[in-house]
Structure formats: C-alpha cells, structure tokens
Amino acid sequence: MDILVVNPNTTASMTEKIGEAARGAASAGTRIIAINPKDGPPSVEGYFDEVFAIPGMIGEIQKHPAASACVIACFDDTGLDAARCVGEMPVVGIGEAAFHMASLIAGRFSVVTTLSRSVPAIEHNLVRYGLASRCARVRASDVPVLELEVLGSNARHRISEEIECAIRDDRAEAIVLGCAGMADLAAALSREHGLPVLDGVACAVKLCESLVGLGLSTSKRGGYQVPLEKSFAGIFAPFSPSGRAS
Amino acid sequence: MDILVVNPNTTASMTEKIGEAARGAASAGTRIIAINPKDGPPSVEGYFDEVFAIPGMIGEIQKHPAASACVIACFDDTGLDAARCVGEMPVVGIGEAAFHMASLIAGRFSVVTTLSRSVPAIEHNLVRYGLASRCARVRASDVPVLELEVLGSNARHRISEEIECAIRDDRAEAIVLGCAGMADLAAALSREHGLPVLDGVACAVKLCESLVGLGLSTSKRGGYQVPLEKSFAGIFAPFSPSGRAS
Amino acid sequence: MDILVVNPNTTASMTEKIGEAARGAASAGTRIIAINPKDGPPSVEGYFDEVFAIPGMIGEIQKHPAASACVIACFDDTGLDAARCVGEMPVVGIGEAAFHMASLIAGRFSVVTTLSRSVPAIEHNLVRYGLASRCARVRASDVPVLELEVLGSNARHRISEEIECAIRDDRAEAIVLGCAGMADLAAALSREHGLPVLDGVACAVKLCESLVGLGLSTSKRGGYQVPLEKSFAGIFAPFSPSGRAS
Amino acid sequence: MDILVVNPNTTASMTEKIGEAARGAASAGTRIIAINPKDGPPSVEGYFDEVFAIPGMIGEIQKHPAASACVIACFDDTGLDAARCVGEMPVVGIGEAAFHMASLIAGRFSVVTTLSRSVPAIEHNLVRYGLASRCARVRASDVPVLELEVLGSNARHRISEEIECAIRDDRAEAIVLGCAGMADLAAALSREHGLPVLDGVACAVKLCESLVGLGLSTSKRGGYQVPLEKSFAGIFAPFSPSGRAS
Amino acid sequence: MDILVVNPNTTASMTEKIGEAARGAASAGTRIIAINPKDGPPSVEGYFDEVFAIPGMIGEIQKHPAASACVIACFDDTGLDAARCVGEMPVVGIGEAAFHMASLIAGRFSVVTTLSRSVPAIEHNLVRYGLASRCARVRASDVPVLELEVLGSNARHRISEEIECAIRDDRAEAIVLGCAGMADLAAALSREHGLPVLDGVACAVKLCESLVGLGLSTSKRGGYQVPLEKSFAGIFAPFSPSGRAS
Amino acid sequence: MDILVVNPNTTASMTEKIGEAARGAASAGTRIIAINPKDGPPSVEGYFDEVFAIPGMIGEIQKHPAASACVIACFDDTGLDAARCVGEMPVVGIGEAAFHMASLIAGRFSVVTTLSRSVPAIEHNLVRYGLASRCARVRASDVPVLELEVLGSNARHRISEEIECAIRDDRAEAIVLGCAGMADLAAALSREHGLPVLDGVACAVKLCESLVGLGLSTSKRGGYQVPLEKSFAGIFAPFSPSGRAS
C-alpha cells in the first residue's frame, strides 16, 4: 500500500527526515510517499502559520487520489478535518496517533513540544479528541522547530530535561514527543528515561496501515462529507473541492 | 471607532447584507468596514471550505492595522485563532459572540444552523469555548448558505420549524441562529416564537465595541503571541506574519 | 438608557466607588444608577453574608422597573438567578461578565479575589457557567473586602503579588480581579504586568449596554420564569414576587 | 441525638408532614425537631422564592445550637452552603441526600420534581455536587408544591406517569422524588413500579444520623469557615453571623 | 440487622481489625459479621491482586443470603459491581462510602492511600462515581498494606506527612484514608490536623445501616440485574450465579 | 510475531470463531494463538460473569510469556488492567481497540452490543478511556452472546435494526459492534448501511501489530507496575504474580 506522509511546512530537509522516520516504521509492503507543499511557511509554529500551510497541503493530497491513506506530519494535526473531506481514504494526524497509542500502554502521558505558543492548539486537540483526561500536561521545551534540524544544538538536552520534570511532577507513565522533527529521538530517550517515549510519525504510519488493512475508510456522514462542488476565486481558483485543478 | 467585519467568503452580496446587520447593531460612533477576501470559496460550508477562506481573510485583516476591532462573520468562527495573532486588536467570532450573549439571558440555548456538515465544527467550538454545557443541541435546517440570499425560498420556513422543535424537544430557552446569512431574521423569529433569538453578527459588533470601550486587547501570552517572522513560499510569498507583503 | 448597578452590601462608600467605575465604563447615553440595599451586611464575604444581602438587593431592583438593565456588583454574582426572575430586563453579574470578556481575549485566565472563604463560591459559578475550563485558578489575596477602601493599606501590593504567581505558575494569559472593590486597580495592574487585567464592574456595564442595544431580554422559559404570585410572611410581608410592596 | 429538620417555607402543615416522614426514618434514639421560619414564602418554587426563605431558615437554625445535625427539607437544597457556615454540626440537604443514596443502589437515576421552573436549580446542584453524570434526567410533573397537600388531587397520578417515562425513556434504574412534599409517596410508588424510589427527607435523616454517629462535623477550612463577625443593617439587624440576635 | 463486612484479602488479622472498626461504628441493633475469603492474595495492592481476591469474596457473600447489607472492605471497592448482582441487599464499598460522606461535610477532599500502584484504580473509581471533581488529589504514602499491621512501623508518620501536604498544597478541607487497614488512625489524625479525617469502613457501615433502615435495595434494572444462570467450568464449577454451589 | 488472543469465556467454538476473525485481520508475519481459560463461565454477560472469567484468563496469559502482544477478546475489556500488569507486552482490549479506531475515521460513533445488562460496563469503560464524548450511545440488541453462535437465529436482523436506529436517532457516523461474537458480521453490515462498521477483534489485532512494530511496551510506572510477589491461598495457590505456578 502507498501511504502519503505530508509535512505541511515547506522545509524539504524536514520532509526527508520525516520520510525516513515513516519508512523506519512502515511494514514490508508499505511504500511511503513523503511530500510537502511548495506554498506556505517553512515551519508551523502556532495558529498563524497553520493557516498558510493547509491549502497547499490539501492541494498535495488531492494530487494523490490513489494513495491508500494519509499521514498529516505536523503535531497540531494541521488541517486534519479538511483532509478527511478529500476522498474516502483514512487520514491520521501524528498528534492524535500518538495520543491514541499512548493510551493503550499507559494510564497517563505528558507531551513535550517545541514552543509555548504551540501548547494551546495541542490542548484544544486533546479536548476535542476526548483524550485530555489521559494527558497529564503539555510541556514546552522552548526549542524552535527548525533548531531540531541543527547539529550540535541544545535541543535534545532541553527535551530530556522536560521529560525528567514530566516523570517527577506530572506522574507521567509515558511521554509523547510533540513535534514531527523529534521523530529520531524517541528510542534513545525511551532507553534513557526508562518509560515509553512515542513519536507521532511512526504511530500514524502504523495506524494508517491498520485502517487500510481493516478496510476502513473515513465516514462520509457528518462533518467529513465530500465537499460541495463550488468555484474558488483568486489565488485559489486552481483549487477546488473535487481537486480538478484548472 | 472602526470595526472591521470580515465575511470570510467571496460573495459580495452576503458581505453587504452582513454589513447592514452590523451597522444596524453598531452604536453612533462606530464605523463598520465590511469586507471579504477576493481569494477563496463563495460560501463556507464545512471544514474543507474553511481552509481556502482563511488565508485571504487574514490578508484582508492585515490591510487594516488601524481598525479598533475585528468581527469574523462566519458562524464556525473560521480562522479566529489565527486572526487573534495579527496585532493586538480584539477579534470576535460571531459564533462565540452569540454563545456568550445567550448565556447571559438564558439557562440553555439551541443553535439552528444551515447544513448537517457544519454541525460538528460548531459542536467542537462549543466544547473548546467551554460553553457546550449551555447548548442543548446544534440543529441543521438543511438550508444551504446561499439559499438564504434567494428571495421566495423555503429557508425561513425551515428555520422556523427547527426553532419549534428546539423549544419542544430541547427545552431551549433561547435560540442562536447559526449562520451570518440569517442575521436579518432574528427579530421576526423572536416575536413569532416568544423567546430570545440571537444573531451572531449583531452580538459580535456589540462585544467588539465593549472590548474597545474597556481598553482591552488580545493577550499576547500563550497561543495568540505575535507570529514569528518567516518567509512564506509559493502563492503565499506575498503574505507574511508581519503583514509586510512583498 | 438607565443601568441599575446594585452593590449588594450596605457600604455606601463602596457603592460610590462602584458607581464611579461603572460611569467610567458607560457610553455617552447611559445613566448609571448605583444603589445598595439598606438591609443586610456591610460586606459580602462568603456564603453566609450572601443570604442576608440578597433580599434587600431584590427589593431595590424591584423599585426600578423602568431600568433598562441591571448589574449585580458583587463578584460571586450574589442572587443573580433570582434577580433574573424580576421582570424581563437583562441582569448581568460582574463575575460572569469578567469571565465571558476574558474568554474573548485570552485562552485562559486566573482570578485574584479577596479571602479564601470566597474561593469555592467563585469556583462553583465557573462550573455552572461552563467556563471553569477557561479559568486556570482562583487565587485568594487574603485582603478583606473593606480593606480595599482603606488608603495606604497593603492591599494593592498583595494583589500584585498574586498576579505575579498567576502568570508564572498558572500560565494565565489574562487576570480577572475578583471583587467589585478592586475596580479602580485594573488599568494600572494591566500596565504593570503586561497582560489584560479585567474589572467585572466595567465588563458588566458594557454587556448590559450590549444586550439592551440588541433588544435582548431575559428568557421567560425555564428557571427565570416570572415568580408565581404568593404572600410572604413575617419580615418579608412587604416583599412579594410582583414587587407590589405594601 | 436531636436532628433539626428545617422546612424553609412557612407552611406549617407541610412542616408537620415532613416531620412525620423524618420521624418515620429516624432511629430509636433520634429526636426530630421539625421547624419552619415565620418569615418568608409559603412554598419554594424557583430561584425567587429561595431568596426570601433562606434568612428566616438560617435564623431558625441559629436558635438550636445544641442540635446534633440539621436537615434542609427543600429539594433544591435551599441555603445549604450558608447553613454549613453556622457552627460545626453537619448539615444535609434532602436533594443531595437522595442523590448520594441513589448512587449507592443504582447506576443511574432520574428525578421527578414539581414545576419546570425548579428544574434548572436542581440540575445546577447535580453539576456542583459532581453527580450530574449519575442522573439521567430531571423531570417536571407540573404539580405545584402545595397541591401535594390537597386530598384527592391529581398529583400522585402525574408523578406516577413521569416515573413510567423515566423507566422507558431515560433507562432510569431508580427514581428520586424531587420535593419534600412527596415524602409519603415513595414506598407505594416503589412497589408500583418495581424499582427503588427515594425520598430525600428520609435519606437526609439517615445521613445525619450517620455523620453524627461517626463524629464527623463540617470542615471549617474553605467555604464553610465560621462567618466573620459583622453588624447587619435594617431588617437584618437582629440577625448576625454569631447568631446573637438582639 | 446483620451487616456482612468482607475483607477481600485472606489476612485474618486484618479482617479482625476491620471488624473492630466496623463494630465501633455500628449502632446498637447491628451485628457485624466480618469475614474474608480463604482463596486469594494476603493483601490487595493494585489491579493484579484484585482479580484473585474477588471470586472468593463473591463466594463468601453468597454464603450469607440472609444478611441485610454488605460492606466491601477494600479501598478500591474491589468487585463492587459483581457483588451488587448477588441478590438484592445493598452493597457499599468503603472507598465510595468515604467519598460520599466527605462530600457532605467538605467542599473538596484529598485521599491518602498506601502505594502509588493503587492510585490509578482509585482515580478511576472517582471518575466513575462522578465524584472526581470533589477530590483534590489521590496521594500515595508509600506504606505497603501489611506494614499497617506492624507495631512500631513508620506508617503513621508517613500518612501524617501526606495529610500535611494535602492541606497545604491541595487546599483539602477533609482527608479520606485510602486503606481499610488505616481505620484505627482516623480519630487521632483528625485531632492532630484539625480537619475531618474519614475512614471508609465506618462510613460504609453507617451507609449500610441507612439503606437498610430506609428499606432500599439494589436496583435490579441495568447493570446489577440478577446474573443469568449458567454452569461455570474448572475451579469455578462450585460457584454459580445463583450461589447454589455444587 | 505471536499475538495471543484470549477469549475470556470457556466456549471453544467462540474461541475458534474469534481466532478466525483475528487471523483474517493479521498481517503475513503474524501468528494468532487463540485460547480460552478452562476455568470460568461459558459466556461473559455482565459484571458477575467477568469475575469468574478473569483469573483463568490471567493464568492463560502467564503461560505465554514469549508472546509479543495480547488481545482480550471480550467487548467489556474484561481484566484488561490486570493483564497489563503481567509482564511488559502490550495488551489491547477489543472494546478500546474499536473505540480508538472509530475515533480516527468518524466524528461520533454508536455501539451495538448484546444485552442491556452489559451496557453500563461499556459506558464506564468509555468514561475511563476518555472517549465517552466520541460515543453517541451504547445500544443493546437484546441478543444473548451465545445466540450469535446459533445458525438461523434472529440475531443479525436485530443488530441491523439497531444500526438503523443509531444512524437515524444518534447521528452516528460509524458503528462499533459490541461483542467478540459479532466479528463475522462487520463487513456485510457496513455494506448494507453505508457507513464504517468496526469489529473490535480485528481492530485489536492491528493495534497489537502496530505497538509491537513500534517497539512499544506497557509502561511499568503507575497502575501497571509488576505485581508485588506474594503467595495466594486456596484455589489460587497455583497462581501467583510472577506466574511461577506451583
């Protein structure tokens, strides 16, 4: 099966790293197609950036109608609801993926993300998904997204410190890493701290494989109905609900 | 004071009607500037359309840095969080405005909106705002947004029927009309059914006037911090966090 | 329009200060009628005092049937439900007013009130209104209500200290001052701490003006129905549901 | 032990009936002192009446400092918080008593009360107590409180009909009767409908006996602290926090 | 009346101590029958032990069909739901008993239990019962169950320290002791710390007496229906829903 | 990898059917080991039966320490917490598995289970897992568990009728089948009703494969710590926390 892994930001090096993480998690028969939009911000840090990342991301998804499933590789599950309206293939956000998986192996977990400005969006998602009661706390490590790409930065150390606090102060039984760019750190941090540390990219790939394997697709009742056909104006004229771009 | 009223869809006739409703609610010293983006869908019906309405809407808001406050005139409060990151002026969504006002005059209210596909987004907002416990039910009238613009349509009748059901079955003490395009119906429906019927556009204008009058602006701690400056790519290159479009 | 601002305690100097705050927030065409009952406690500090403040307060409200709206100027929204049963004019408590307004400009807020004995009543209101999820914490400054009236007291310093804690420990994005007697401190504390500080009296005046401007009145379905006519006995014989005091 | 059973309304015949119900539930060594205030409304039907029932009720409680415990015999637990501030004896409302007892013998229960105007107050109590999740629904039988005192009225039939609905539509496993005046109906309705039917008066007497037997008294930390001494004005001058009425 | 007090573990000395505590709380006419199963673990510390304690406990309960009520004397209310399916007599867990009683005398309480591994089960119960909002925190004292039986151990000191923390950090107004083996400490700890300290065994005995006195029995609608008759296999062949052991 | 699929009841024909369903869902490299205890009830219908199913089930799990993961194949996730204490392998209940998977493809789902007596246990699980807000309603089809094994029974028809009701009355966007014995019906019912219908057995197998593939194991902090070693008495002497049965 083909799983589309969409990095909603435009930083190709990060797409590559995410693709690697996804391939590391994928089963033998799964092909990972890691892409990013050419339109939008180089990193998604907070509500403002999200807005300009999603249209391009949706456009990319529409270009792959034959994919079996789709992973949204941004921890605030940017544009997840809209992506589920595109066709019937299952779409899984890396945030929700990690929350659901953590709920299966731990009574409560804490999230360690990048910047404090991203915390409220993650908290809102937890409330919406119903899993806020399973999350002890969402913690900011004050590491900007793209610093995770910089060799020799202090990023890994800061994240490790927050995990320490989560174990001591939140009674966390598992840790969810709150950024796609942290995917490569999970295994080592798990060994270091002696508790499960989850990376959302890997979790989402596995959940997509599972949904496809079960023959399950997105429900077309309720909020994820196929969008009504209409013509968009201006810069969005090439886009459309049916994806038949001019 | 100048209040920006942004209709996130591109239908100018609807912007005009919303502007009228806003002016009808505004105080003497308030100037209503009703605008809509030139980029995006002609109506916002569900998660998919939202995505293509918000960037243009944010761009329009950035063009009016001197406005005192801003109303987002779409009932699912499209792009509200991102709009709050732009500058410090208060930004109020017409959905939240109506929910807060209804909570001051009734123990519980029901919402009557347009299509069933829009119900989940409204329910999610209620949960996030904390006011889900005040809302008895979100009801779809199965009236598409633009049919509200058509003279002689069955729209008003369908909405009235749902209000009847809300009073009888939900024990609703007030009704919130769930679409900016219903703004002109509130007063008559209130008289007809003998309970408060709230239109979000008017409510939002009043809340904006109130916030400005109180000297209150959006908090710049937490999720509404000023966006980090970064260059956007592709069709969004002219946009930027600071609004200094190239 | 005439807005009745009722201080439920009998301390006239506090009524005057509250009246000043209300006038400072009111629009040009609004007349503030600041009153207090002659029956009851000199300050409302906890559940016990409330009981003896409300009957006199209701009696005062009944004396002003032509008022356009009414503000209950005690932060635990003393007697709010009963006041809404009197006639149809909108009635707004200063506690709920501040909670709703804070929700429009901040993701989460903390409350700084007077004594620890008042904290549970405020917490209960937040739960009832549905806004508990928006409030990070209700903090007591251990400043008695009437000490706020004393020049040179330590009150302002103690409140400022609690705001400091709320920012650091609660991740508060805005502060709600939890006593009508703190109305004059909001602006300076906001400048000092660099985040919105809300005073409920001003917020409630603005919400009353808004409701009146929108033509909205209290729903007479559900709990706020006009009270059934009945004769009260003993000291309450002069009072009655219809307000036709003997 | 002496248990004070306070009917907050002034209708002596109802006090007598409540006293009978209390005595029927009391253990051998328990003396029931059934009283009502001389000041206030003849029945408590909604938020407005409550206000004028509570001061007299508190005054009556203060006259019995040697009582071991106190029952508030009105189903909306009128003035419960204030009563708990008077001295240290346990105070139990008949509403909360029935909710707690029903939670011990059934997964979920429904309430059948008198008038629709009383429903919101009961619902708010359930939310505050934390037991709303155990209550399937609060139902109004449209029987006014004092009609329960009228021989040959339709009251019992209406209540029985609502119980039928609660079993069928709410999946209720037990029924709580929502008015002190229904105390004499519980046993027969339980036999008739084949499920537990709880009367709050009897439940509250038993919980008072239990608390006294366990040597437990109201906590004096938090909201139930002894009221600060202060002089009340006007008609309340004879009242005071310490109960040393002039 | 006969109240069955079942200690679900097999440690007879603990059963004796629990029986003493129960007798200390019981009224004159109540006979306490303290028992424990002969099959199962010597102490119940966490989810695993529970499983092997419940079948023997159910078997013991079935041997006493003439008992008026039953107390489950383990703080995580081990097997409570199943025990309620056996016959119609009321069954009360010591955990829920203490939570309900504490809710009547305090706005919020904290629990002090034995080991950290037992905390999640208690938290889950609080959520299910609906009383989680009344509990500030569940604290582990790190005292193993059977160490409470050892004279001269450090157990009492550790528990007292946690109570100190609960008062200071949780704003607890009452303390619930979270283990049947702590029953003898409640009175002294209450005096020492100046707030109510509740022991679940005594609370449960009183609630059983109350339910029996009120003629209330477990509802046989919903989850507590009489089990369907079926033959069990293997080591459970002697057990059966109807208790007619072979 | 080897996945243990434990049917907690003793009916071998049902174990076989569940094993088939599991194998149908398993990936190429996965071996399904379908087992059932020899001790306990032939079907698990409600709280009582659970108690006598779990010990045998735990004993069976302990016999397979080399398994990679374990599925509890009873829809009320019987003994899930205890099973997670045995070793470190992931353990997934079929109820939770279906709830989590349904949350990824639908905004809200309804459950259709067997008997009304099983509904409360499922509702409690949903509350504990945090996913109650995603479930519109748990419906009983009044089909006993073992009737699902009878050819020509009315079972499938009754289940289909309830699905019809769930779509119409609950606004369900997906259906979760609430019994391991319904595993073979999911695909056909999905086609018939035009929305996703989920079987928990298949979902749980996929989630186990995912967890194992991700190298994730049950957290040994909190409630799932390895049980303290102790000797069990009576019929449970052969069992022990470490599984070293005598």
- Top pLDDT among F94 and F155 is at F94
Shared domain check, D84 and D121? no
Nearest to E18 by CA among E34, E29, E31: E34
Mean pLDDT of chain E: 95
Instruction: Give the closest of F47, F233, F239 to E223, CB-based.
Output: F47
Residue with tokens 């037997």: D213
Shared domain check, D126 and D148? yes
Do B and A share at least 3 CB pairs under 8 Å?
yes
Domain contains E243: no
pLDDT at C244 over 80: no
Paired with C93 in beta bridges are C72
Say yes or no for a CB contact (<8 Å) between D46 and C85. yes
pLDDT at C233 over 70: yes
Per-residue pLDDT at C246: 44
Q: How many Cβ atoms from other residues are within 10 Å of residue D187's Cβ?
A: 15
Q: How far is A22 from chain E (nearest CA, A)?
A: 34
Per-residue pLDDT at E150: 81
Q: Is F210 on the interface with B (CB under 8 A)?
A: no
SS3 D135: strand
Shared domain check, B160 and B183? yes
Q: Which residue out of E72, E99, E104, E203 would a mutagenesis test of the D interface target, given it has the greatest number of D Cβ atoms within 10 Å?
A: E104
Say yes or no for a CB contact (<8 Å) between D223 and C46. yes
Domain contains A244: no
Per-residue pLDDT at E223: 96
pLDDT tens string A112-147? 999 999 999 999 999 999 999 999 999 999 988 888
pLDDT tens string C96-153? 999 999 999 999 999 999 999 999 999 999 999 999 999 999 999 998 888 887 877 8
Q: Which residue of B has its CA nearest to A116?
A: B222
pLDDT tens string D70-87? 999 999 999 999 999 998
Shared domain check, A34 and A128? no
pLDDT tens string B215-237? 999 999 999 999 999 999 999 99
CA distances from residue C87 to A131, A195, C84, C219, D90 in whole angstroms, order as listed: 44, 61, 7, 10, 37
Q: Which residue of B has its CA nearest to A121?
A: B223
Q: Is F133 on the interface with D (CB under 8 A)?
A: no
pLDDT at A246 over 50: no
Triad B98, B29, B22: Cα angle to 5°: 35
Q: Which residue of D has its CA nearest to B108?
A: D120
Do A and E share at least 3 CB pairs under 8 Å?
yes
**Domain total of chain F:** 2
Residues of A in contact with F195 (CB under 8 A): 219-221
Q: Count of alpha carbons within 13 Å of F16, Cβ hemisphere only?
A: 4
pLDDT tens string E72-122? 999 999 999 999 999 899 999 999 999 999 999 999 999 999 999 999 999
Q: Is A14 on the interface with B (CB under 8 A)?
A: no
Given a contact cutoff of 8 angstroms between Cβ atoms, the answer to whether B214 and B222 are in contact is: no
Q: Which residue of F has its CA nearest to B116?
A: F171
Domain contains D88: yes
Shared domain check, A164 and A153? yes
Q: How far is CA B80 from the centre of its chain?
A: 9
What CATH number corresponds to the domain at position C51? Answer: 3.40.50.12500
Alpha-carbon distance of B117 to F206, in angstroms, equals 30
Residue C72 dihedral angles phi and psi, to the nearest 5°: -95, 110
Give residue E70's identity as a one-letter amino acid code.
C
Q: Which residue of E has its CA nearest to D214?
A: E25
pLDDT tens string F181-236? 898 899 999 999 999 999 999 999 999 999 999 999 999 999 999 999 999 999 99
Q: Which residue of C has its CA nearest to A139?
A: C171
Alpha-carbon distance of D171 to F137, in angstroms, equals 12
Triad B5, B8, B14: Cα angle to 5°: 75
Residues of B in contact with F107 (CB under 8 A): 120
Do B and F share at least 3 CB pairs under 8 Å?
yes
Q: Is F224 on the interface with E (CB under 8 A)?
A: yes
Q: Is F174 on the interface with A (CB under 8 A)?
A: yes
SS3 C4: strand
Domain contains A246: no
Q: Is F227 on the interface with D (CB under 8 A)?
A: no
Q: Is D164 on the interface with E (CB under 8 A)?
A: no
Give residue C213's identity as a one-letter amino acid code.
G
Query: Which range (A43-52, A74-83, C41-50, D143-152) has the least confidence?
Result: D143-152
Sheet strands side by side (includes C174-178): C135-140, C109-113, C174-178, C197-199
pLDDT tens string E4-47? 999 999 999 999 999 999 999 999 999 999 999 999 999 999 99
Per-residue pLDDT at A173: 98
Domain contains C80: yes
Shared domain check, D103 and D159? yes
Q: How far is A93 from chain E (nearest CA, A)?
A: 28
Q: Which residues contact C113 (CB under 8 A, 6 or more apart)?
A: C75, C119, C122, C138, C139, C140, C141, C178, C179
Looking at beta carbons, which pairs linking F14-20 to residues 24 or more positions away fall under 8 Å?
Answer: F14/F43, F14/F145, F14/F146, F14/F149, F14/F180, F14/F181, F17/F149, F17/F181, F17/F183, F17/F184, F18/F73, F18/F180, F18/F181, F18/F183, F18/F201, F20/F183, F20/F184
Per-residue pLDDT at F244: 57
Shared domain check, B99 and B88? no
- Top pLDDT among A34 and A240 is at A34
Q: How far is E206 from chain A (nearest CA, A)?
A: 33
Q: Which domain holds residue A133?
A: 95-199
Per-residue pLDDT at D246: 44
Say yes or no for a CB contact (<8 Å) between B133 and D127. yes
Mean local confidence (pLDDT), F31-54: 96
Burial of D168 (0-12, 13-18, 19+ CB in 10 A): exposed
Q: Which residue of D has its CA nearest to F127?
A: D133
Residue with tokens 């000041």: D39
**ipTM reported for the complex, 2 dp:** 0.96
Instruction: Give the closest of E40, E50, E222 to F233, CB-based.
Output: E40
Mean local confidence (pLDDT), A10-27: 96
pLDDT tens string C66-106? 999 999 999 999 999 999 999 899 999 999 999 999 999 99
Residues of E in contact with A171 (CB under 8 A): 116, 119
Q: What is the dihedral of CA B79, B81, B82, B88, to 10 degrees?
A: 130
Mean local confidence (pLDDT), F26-39: 96
Alpha-carbon distance of B84 to B6, in angstroms, equals 13
Domain contains F244: no
Q: How far is C108 from chain A (nearest CA, A)?
A: 9
Shared domain check, F151 and F32? no
Nearest to D240 by CA among D228, D41, D78: D228
Shared domain check, A99 and A65? no
Shared domain check, F132 and F73? no
Domain contains B243: no
| Predicted confidence band of residue A151 (pLDDT cuts 50, 70, 90) | confident
Q: Is E217 on the interface with D (CB under 8 A)?
A: yes
Q: Helices (DSSP H) in D118-185: which residue ranges?
A: 119-129, 155-169
Q: Count of alpha carbons within 13 Å of E145, Cβ hemisphere only?
A: 29
Shared domain check, B193 and B100? yes
Given a contact cutoff of 8 angstroms between Cβ atoms, the answer to whether B32 and A219 are in contact is: no
Q: How many Cβ atoms from other residues are within 10 Å of residue E238's Cβ?
A: 11
Say yes or no for a CB contact (<8 Å) between D129 and E213. no
Alpha-carbon distance of E240 to D39, in angstroms, equals 61
Q: How far is D131 from chain F (nearest CA, A)?
A: 14
Shared domain check, F195 and F216? no
Q: Give the relative orientation of helices A200-213 and A12-25 as an angle to the nearest 10 degrees.
A: 50
SS3 E189: helix
pLDDT at E168 over 60: yes
Given a contact cutoff of 8 angstroms between Cβ atoms, the answer to whether F115 and F144 are in contact is: yes
Per-residue pLDDT at D146: 83
Q: How many Cβ atoms from other residues are within 10 Å of residue F62's Cβ?
A: 18
Say yes or no for a CB contact (<8 Å) between D133 and F120. no
Nearest to C119 by CA among C161, C167, C162: C162
Given a contact cutoff of 8 angstroms between Cβ atoms, the answer to whether F33 and F66 are in contact is: no
Do A and D share at least 3 CB pairs under 8 Å?
no
Domain contains A241: no
C130: its two tokens = 């549905």
Q: DSSP states of C6-64 as a string?
A: E-SSS-HHHHHHHHHHHHHHS-TTPEEEEE--SSB-SS--SHHHHHHHHHHHHHHHHT-
Per-residue pLDDT at E218: 98
